[in-house]
Amino acid sequence: MGLRIHFVVDPHGWCCMGLIVFVWLYNFVLIPKIVLFPHYEEGHIPGILIIIFYGIAIFCLVALVRSSITDPGRLPENPKIPHGEREFWELCNKCNLMRPKRSHHCSRCGHCVRRMDHHCPWINNCVGEDNHWLFLQLCFYTELLTCYALMFSFCHYYYFLPLKKRNLDLFVVRHELAIMRLAAFMGITMLVGITGLFYTQLIGIITGGPGDGTRSHSPLLFPQDQCLLSLLCSWRGGQQHTQAACRYVEGYLGTPPVPR
């Protein structure tokens, strides 16, 4: 299934995305020039490590672009509501349009998004049903690239042999310490932020709720979701086990089972 293009006109989001692209370019250009290529030329590291660095960096940029321009699940103005699901829809009090109960209205984008998690200014887009997996990809590749860059920055000063050939006429060589300190600061800041965000996203997926913890709606709002609950509650393991399973699921999800 093809992904629909979605573009948000938001100067604040553009600035945040521009900052992310600047950090990416800073590391994409300077880390190889200061660390990777000089150590490769002197035989300290194999060339495959440089290829891996560029591969992760490109994957990270592609994930950023895709999560930014992919429609997160914007609801149409006149949605077609299946007859059997009308009870699971409600009227949005902001845009006066019908929406599934797990949908939410984004005040910055100005429309409702299916299974909206949050609006992320760093991708200038909402994180919803159709681009949540792309957002998780972005978090994963960013975490991987940041760890990779920080590892080589550390090895450059504390593990690798000192470089014998240094062209002091180059700007990046003369100001290497300042450049690497700035790269380390941005890397540590990015690593801490992305680690916390990625953790909350994974916890949200495991527990069945949104990653940012701002939504409290039960995920079992559609018939296709409640089929699993119905099957569980109709399990033929005995009436006592069936009732216990139903009470557990209802207490955990806050949603009563659907009788079959």
Annotated catalytic sites, by residue?
120
73 Cβ partners below 8 Å, 6+ apart?
103, 113, 114, 115, 116, 126, 128, 129, 130, 131
The tokens for 152 are: 């080589």
225 residue type, one letter: D
The tokens for 111 are: 């429309």
Distance, CA of 245 to CA of 227 (rounded, Å): 15
Three-state DSSP at 193 gives: helix
Could you give the C-alpha distances from 4 to 7, 19, 70, 100, 229, in angstroms and in order?
Answer: 10, 25, 6, 20, 32
